[in-house]
Amino acid sequence: MSVLVVIECDNGEVKKSSLEVATYASQVAQQLGSTATAVAVGEATEDNLAKLGEQGISKVLYDAEPRLKDFVNGAYTKLIATAAEQEGAQVLVLANSNIGAAVGSRLSIRLKASLATNAVELPRTEGGQFVVKRGAFSGKALADVALTTDRKIIAVKKNSIEAQQEAGKTASVEKFSANLTDADFADAPKQVVMQEQAGGVLLPEAAKVVSGGRGMKGPENWNLIEDLAKALGAATACSKPVSDVDWRPHHEHVGQTGITISPNLYIACGISGAIQHLAGVNSSKVIVVINKDPEAPFFKAADYGIVGDVFDVLPKLTQAVKEL
Ligand code: FAD
């Protein structure tokens, strides 16, 4: 069974989540005694694509069509499906990102493949079936799903696997064309909104996030969140009520009805830790909670907790980070 992995690129760089799925795909290929090929989407450079050899990828297909720089569902789906057909891929791996979620379902229909989203570990064979463990119910439960079609698609949850780095190994980069036409770009968004945060870090991809809730009292105090975010090289986020009252833009709202993130570090400042908020952040690797109420529910989910007033703690924390 050959394996094809979808690599998302932005501004020439391979996204961190794609380094993770490249590693995942090459480990699946090893399990199956096969090799992993990649197809790149977005704006890439050949040098950066060649470096995917470090994650165990042998070959990368890249269509340099300029309109593929930004996400267009129809065009991306056709490109990936064409690569899958050409390579005879039986297993398709992608990141469980906004792009992965959007194209995953379309690819599933187009390729008549079963799809497991939110995969948290490598697949295994059980009773002759190909089984994938996936997060369910906003990450509160894990479910084993058997993918029974010949072709299988796995969308891997961010931060579920560490990107391996075998320095010096390179992948061959091959020009590839899916013969895309204007019709394939018909569903292109009219405007692409870059959701850039303080310090230029995009929230969905950020390794560190500093987030504020109603305990911040008002938008005039957000400089405290932004100062810490800048010192750490982090993105900023917020709870739903904060964006509901326009203290912060809606694209910063994390949780059940907002963005789901899995950074290495999530610092929650003046956020109570309601279940709907936790649903979007509880797979963060390390959670730090700053809250003046020692009974705040968020402390139960925290790795480190500071019981204190955000207006005292944040300036001191930012100063301490700057002095590191
Ligand atoms: P609060 O609950 O008011 O908490 C403020 C916290 O700040 C308190 O714990 C308080 O002790 C602390 N505090 C106050 N002053 C200070 C200070 N000076 N220093 C330190 N700490 C201080 N919420 C989300 O965030 N994301 C979602 O996606 C989401 N989806 C929802 C979907 C549904 C269907 C529903 C019903 C609700 C949803 N909610 C969501 C809302 C959620 O239930 C909570 O109401 C919300 O998360 C609370 O936001 P908060 O923690 O900022 O505010």
- Residue-level pLDDT at 201: 72
Distance (angstroms) between ligand 1 centre and the Cα of 273 equals 6
- Of all residues in the chain, the percent with pLDDT exceeding 70 is 96
In short, whether 293's Cβ falls inside 6 Å of ligand 1 is yes
In short, whether 274's Cβ falls inside 6 Å of ligand 1 is yes
In short, whether 74's Cβ falls inside 6 Å of ligand 1 is no
* pLDDT at residue 192 tops 50: no
pLDDT in tens, 19-57: 999 999 999 999 999 999 999 999 999 999 999 999 999
- List the beta bridge partners of residue 254: 259
Closest ligand 1 atom to Cα of 272: 9
How many other CB atoms are found less than 10 A from the CB of residue 244?
12
Closest ligand 1 atom to Cα of 214: 52
- Residue-level pLDDT at 199: 52
Contacts of 230 (CB under 8 A, 6+ apart): 198, 199
How does residue 269 score in pLDDT terms, banded at 50, 70 and 90?
A: very high
* Rounded to 5°, angle at Cα 105 from 102 and 106: 85
CA–CA gap between residue 39 and residue 35 (Å, rounded) = 14
Distance (angstroms) between ligand 1 centre and the Cα of 139 equals 19
Q: Are the C-beta atoms of residues 18 and 110 closer than 8 Å to each other? A: no
Closest ligand 1 atom to Cα of 257: 28
In short, whether 241's Cβ falls inside 6 Å of ligand 1 is yes
- Residue-level pLDDT at 197: 54
Distance (angstroms) between ligand 1 centre and the Cα of 202 equals 23
Burial of 79 (0-12, 13-18, 19+ CB in 10 A): buried
* pLDDT at residue 272 tops 60: yes
Query: Which of 76-80, 106-110, 167-171 is least confident?
Result: 167-171
Contacts of 191 (CB under 8 A, 6+ apart): none
Query: Which has more confidence, 163 or 204?
Result: 163
**Candidate of 214, 284, 314 to mutate for ligand 1, largest count of ligand atoms within 8 Å of Cβ:** 214
How does residue 202 score in pLDDT terms, banded at 50, 70 and 90?
A: confident
Distance (angstroms) between ligand 1 centre and the Cα of 241 equals 7
How does residue 15 score in pLDDT terms, banded at 50, 70 and 90?
A: very high
In short, whether 212's Cβ falls inside 6 Å of ligand 1 is no
- Residue-level pLDDT at 300: 96
- Residue-level pLDDT at 203: 86
* pLDDT at residue 107 tops 50: yes
In short, whether 282's Cβ falls inside 6 Å of ligand 1 is no
Q: Hey, what are 208's tokens?
A: 């560190």
Q: What is the pTM of this model?
A: 0.76
Contacts of 135 (CB under 8 A, 6+ apart): 118, 120, 141, 142, 143, 157, 283
CA–CA gap between residue 94 and residue 252 (Å, rounded) = 24
In short, whether 292's Cβ falls inside 6 Å of ligand 1 is yes
**Candidate of 244, 260, 277 to mutate for ligand 1, largest count of ligand atoms within 8 Å of Cβ:** 277
* pLDDT at residue 179 tops 60: yes
In short, whether 42's Cβ falls inside 6 Å of ligand 1 is no
Buried b (16+ CB within 10 A) or exposed e, 267-291: bbbbbbbbeebbbbbbbbeebbbbb
Q: Which residue, chain included where needed, has tokens 């470090």?
A: 54
- Residue-level pLDDT at 126: 93
- Of all residues in the chain, the percent with pLDDT exceeding 90 is 82
In short, whether 255's Cβ falls inside 6 Å of ligand 1 is yes
How does residue 194 score in pLDDT terms, banded at 50, 70 and 90?
A: very low
How does residue 129 score in pLDDT terms, banded at 50, 70 and 90?
A: very high
Mean pLDDT of 278-302: 95
Whose Cα sits closest to atom 44 in ligand 1? 274
In short, whether 261's Cβ falls inside 6 Å of ligand 1 is no
Distance (angstroms) between ligand 1 centre and the Cα of 209 equals 17
* 3-class state of residue 266 by DSSP: strand
